[in-house]
Structure 1
């Protein structure tokens, strides 16, 4: 299905590219007093080739990447981004009227730049304070941070039955089938640094490595949507350690919970 959509989008991009560059070729030919048919044909051909090659990089693939990121994004971060954009647009709307009174081209350009600026600042501020949203919405309250867990004197341990997932077992993908059998009844816990490592692998220039990273992100999305056991993505971190594997081991020791992995090292 995705392949057919991408194919039709390539055709549409080739058609649009041919029209736009064909018009550009006609204009260039008139300016240079050159043969119009030759220039129009060459530019149209370039538009067709450019549309066939580049269209997926501006349509299907960014949308696919966005869906993967949203599928595995913690709820509080997603809410922070949405609220930031909403408030940024409201702030930009307050400046839209006075900016529209400026002479051209400022009245056409500045409102757009102002909207981007306020949205960016709002998103950055809200994502920096995303943990505060847990206190506002109780349903979004997840595990406390490492420091908070150490200072928590209550008898109930929210991670008593948790299992940490590492990158290898997520990329392997069989965890989705195992979770559906009922064999695993514990909460599946994915630290944010494991998610960042998956995204880094998915951005790799190596095709095999990039496909493995994307598969891992897809598996996380399936687990969040279909797994009968709860899965949580937490921002708990071990700042004293740098690499993800060592962080995971240190976090498992602190929480006293097992790690599910395919890495024998």
Structure 2
């Protein structure tokens, strides 16, 4: 509504100014001969600014300010350069040509340089702050398995991640292929991955960017894991996955990996040898006499001499803990109440 009022006032002012000019005594002869045509032409010229206003709405404030600031700096540089060259061009026939070239070239170079680099460094001019758009540190390169897993979206909700999330186009294509699979379970996994990706893009707390990768000759014959490692090396990022094999491949090539299983395991409660816990024995173990139960977070607990306690609760003493990227296992023995 405010813009409508401003444009209406501008239209009225332009009409009044054009009318005064057409009816003034010092008007040009051609205006006196064609007053109506002159009034219409003047109104069209003044209202061109309104059309320009609509066109500028498509550009961001950073782009407009970069152009303005570039023109200003370029004009100052060209004037300084012309003054510096003036003593050498006093008696030259090319003096005017050099001044014209510097006046055109310097603003152009300044504008293009600012437009190309406005996201790479930080500087401030009135009402506008240019800053690098990448949040946090090194970006995270998402693997297909990490997207389908869904825990990356939960991590974003906890405000732990502040870096840019990058999804290569070949990962998105693989997700689409999985979602179009004829196998129901595989199709559901693909659709879940696409839903998780849409959830990440809708989250305002993180930046998700699609990284376009050309399918050139160099990518032929390479697996998805190898191409992910190449993208991480190119962008200086870290691969996010729960694939054990990709974890090893990336580590061998010096690429940092964030394994979601390792992250989940690191957040599980710590149990030290000698601590007591209570579990429900679910089934018999692989060895004779072993009983197997699970904690609330899914950690497997193997207890010696508990094979005959299936379906009941048992108090056990932790004897050792085994942990790797595949998960965590706790080993224990039955708690002897008489010994304590």
Q: Could you tell me the TM-score, scaled by structure 1's length?
A: 0.40
Larger RCO (alpha carbons 8 Å, 6+ apart): 1
Instruction: Give the structure with the higher percent strand.
Output: 2
Instruction: Give the structure with the higher percent helix.
Output: 1
